[in-house]
Structures are given as C-alpha cells and as structure tokens.
Amino acid sequence: MPDDYRKTLIRQIAQHAHSEIVGMLPEANWVTRAPSLKRKAIALAKIQDEAGHGLYLYSACETLGVDRDDLLEELHSGKAKYSSIFNYPTLTWADMGAVGWLVDGAAIMNQVPLCRTSYGPYGRAMVRVCKEESFHQRQGYDTLLALVRGSEEQKKMAQDALNRWWWPSLMMFGPADADSKHTAQSMAWKIKRFTNDELRQKFVDATVPQAELLGLTIPDPDLKWNEERGHYDFGEINWDEFYNVIKGNGACNKQRVHDRKAAWDNGAWVREAATAYQEKKSKSNNTVAA
Ligand code: FAQ
C-alpha cells in the first residue's frame, strides 16, 4: 500500500471517527430535557449509535497500523480535526430535529458513496453506519414535523433552528473544490467518490423540497431553481466562519474538547479493569492449555 494513500486514509477515517464521538455531545445536552419518554428513548438510541459509529471507524483505522489511543491523544491535544458542525450549540429542542434532518442528512449524502470507497474496511463500516444515519435523519424530520404542526411558537422554534443550522450544514462538505487541497488526489485514489461541491449540490437539491413540505423557509435569498442546470442555485457560503471554526475558534470548540478529554480521563478505570480481566483470562487459558 503506498504510504501517502495510507496516511490520507488515516487522516480522513480518524477525523470521521472523532466527529462521530464529538457529535454525541450536542445531543447529550437534550437527553434529560426531551419532551416525552418516547423522544428521550429515541435520543438515547441515536446517541449510542454515534458511539458505535466511532468504534467501527477507530477499528477500521487501526487496520492501517495506527493505535487508537494515539488517535484519541491527537483529538485531546487539538491536533486532530473533527467536523466543524459539532462546534455549534443546540439551544432549543428544535435543534435536535435540525441536527437529525440536516446534519445526519448531510452525513448520509457524504457517506453513502463512501460505502464504495477503495479501502474495504472503511467501506464496510460505512454500510452499517448509513443504515443507522438514515433512521437518524428520519427521526430529526419527524421531530420538526411535530413542531411545525404545533403552536405558532413551536413553528417559530423550528424556523429558528433551520436558520441557525442551514449554513453550517453546507459547510460540513468541506471547502469549495477550488480550495480543497485533498480532493483531487483522494478522487484519483477513489477514497472520495464525489467532490465536496458535488455532494453539497446534491444535498441542497434533496433538502429544498423537504423544507417546503415542512412549510419552513431556507435562510438564503439567492436560493432558486435553475432550469438550465437542473439544480438549485444557492448563495455564497461564509468561508471565513468555516475556517475560523476549524481553527478552533467556534462557539463550542473548547467545551467539546474539554468534555471528550474528561470522558477519557473518567473512563480510565474501565480500561484498566478490562485490561486486567483480559490478562487474567489469558493466564487461565494458558494454564488449561498447559
Ligand atoms: N470540518 O481538502 P479537504 C456525522 C478540513 S459525521 C472540519 O476538502 P478532505 C455523523 C480537512 O480535514 C461528519 N474540518 O479535505 C453525525 C482538511 O484539513 P487537514 C464527519 C474540515 O478530507 C451526525 C482541510 O479542511 N464526516 O456528522 C471540514 O478531502 C449527527 C481541507 O479540506 C466525515 O468525516 C469540516 N466540515 O474532505 C454524528 C466524512 N471539511 O486534514 C452525530 C468523511 C474539511 O488537511 C450527530 N470525510 N475539513 O488538516 C470526508 O468525506 C472528507 O474528509 C471531508 C473533507 C469531505 C470532510
């Protein structure tokens, strides 16, 4: 395997794994405040799924010869990136709907093609991840559907969530192709199957009719159907905001890294106990074999 191919995969898969487990944090904020037992059970199931996605991805990454502890150390030290989207706060219950609908929706758009990525362990992890993300996207849409069918105040809450999450969701696909330093090589290696801009366009085209069905307005005055292109045209993304967030200066970057690090430190005893148990088990197996 060419060394640069391996390094690119490690970078992308590790960033993806970190995104999954950091992505649990904005939603965890709402577990104790979900409006019903059913919504709480759904939120818990979704958040646990994200932990599972992190595990598949760290495992896939380890097949490339890296150690999971080292990858996590890079997350905790701020060296490794994770998706920009998780540095925005979830201020209201409608944000849980918007995260499911838009953030999982964008994740699926990016990840379905990754089921055919050139590195088997990554592609196979994606197959299951995509099935689960599809349930997540629908539960987000369902949450917003309930709000837009509710009181005027609930409808306003749904619109406000869309206003705040729309542009950051478009940023999830990464810089414009002209500014994306890795796309050309990753496409040639078939790690990426579509470019950042191609996936962003597919997402906009799929999501506009969904917003119409909800009776919500996408916060972009330049959004309009282009008959000639057969796609929606949309406004300019605020790239200064994007680069500022990925440099660590978003609203929640410091809190997210702090919370992940605290979870790692607080879980030390579990790792120690599991290792001690494994050692004890292999010793007794060796004794039986002897
Ligand atoms: N945020 O040259 P490119 C989810 C970085 S999972 C932060 O275009 P590439 C599930 C990029 O790393 C969401 N950094 O890079 C969920 C590079 O920096 P570097 C995560 C970003 O790799 C839902 C630099 O900018 N999904 O949401 C971002 O070819 C709900 C130049 O960029 C994946 O990771 C960004 N948005 O394309 C969980 C999917 N975009 O490393 C909980 C797999 C770019 O040189 C709740 N990843 N950067 O220092 C990919 O498809 C690609 O890695 C891209 C970026 C498309 C993200």
Q: Of the residues 12, 22, 24, 101, which should be mutated to test ligand 1's pocket, given the most ligand atoms within 8 Å of the CB?
A: 12
Tell whether ligand 1 has an atom less than 6 A from the beta carbon of residue 125.
no
pLDDT at residue 285 in the model: 83
pLDDT at residue 286 in the model: 81
Tell whether ligand 1 has an atom less than 6 A from the beta carbon of residue 87.
no
pLDDT at residue 227 in the model: 98
Q: Is 84 exposed, middle or buried (0-12, 13-18, 19+ CB in 10 A)?
A: buried
pLDDT at residue 6 in the model: 98
pLDDT at residue 155 in the model: 98
Tell whether ligand 1 has an atom less than 6 A from the beta carbon of residue 107.
yes
The pTM for the full model equals 0.96
Contact 133, 124 (CB under 8 A): no
Amino acid at residue number 143: T
Q: Would you state the structure tokens that stand for residue 228, as one six-digit string?
A: 């000639």
pLDDT at residue 288 in the model: 73
CB atoms closer than 10 angstroms to residue 161: 26
pLDDT at residue 287 in the model: 79
Q: Of the residues 111, 246, 249, 253, which should be mutated to test ligand 1's pocket, given the most ligand atoms within 8 Å of the CB?
A: 246
Round to whole Å and give the CA distance between 30 and 280.
40
Tell whether ligand 1 has an atom less than 6 A from the beta carbon of residue 117.
no
pLDDT at residue 126 in the model: 97
| 88 CA from centroid of ligand 1 (Å) | 16
pLDDT at residue 284 in the model: 87
Sign of CA dihedral 269, 22, 110, 40: positive
| 171 CA from centroid of ligand 1 (Å) | 9
Q: Of the residues 83, 99, 131, 186, which should be mutated to test ligand 1's pocket, given the most ligand atoms within 8 Å of the CB?
A: 83
Q: Would you state the structure tokens that stand for residue 73, as one six-digit string?
A: 């150390």
Three-class DSSP category at 233: strand
- Which of ligand 1's atoms lies nearest the C-alpha of 99? 30
Round to whole Å and give the CA distance between 25 and 83.
13
Tell the residue nearest (CA) to atom 42 of ligand 1: 23
123, 122, 135, 13: which is closest to 74 by C-alpha?
13
Question: How confident is the prediction along the chain (290 residues), in pLDDT tens digits per residue?
Answer: 999 999 999 999 999 999 999 999 999 989 999 999 999 999 999 999 999 999 999 999 999 999 999 999 999 999 999 999 999 999 999 999 999 999 999 999 999 999 999 999 999 999 999 999 999 999 999 999 999 999 999 999 999 999 999 999 999 999 999 999 999 999 999 999 999 999 999 999 999 999 999 999 999 999 999 999 999 999 999 999 999 999 999 999 999 999 999 999 999 999 999 999 999 999 988 877 77
Q: Of the residues 8, 15, 104, 185, which should be mutated to test ligand 1's pocket, given the most ligand atoms within 8 Å of the CB?
A: 15
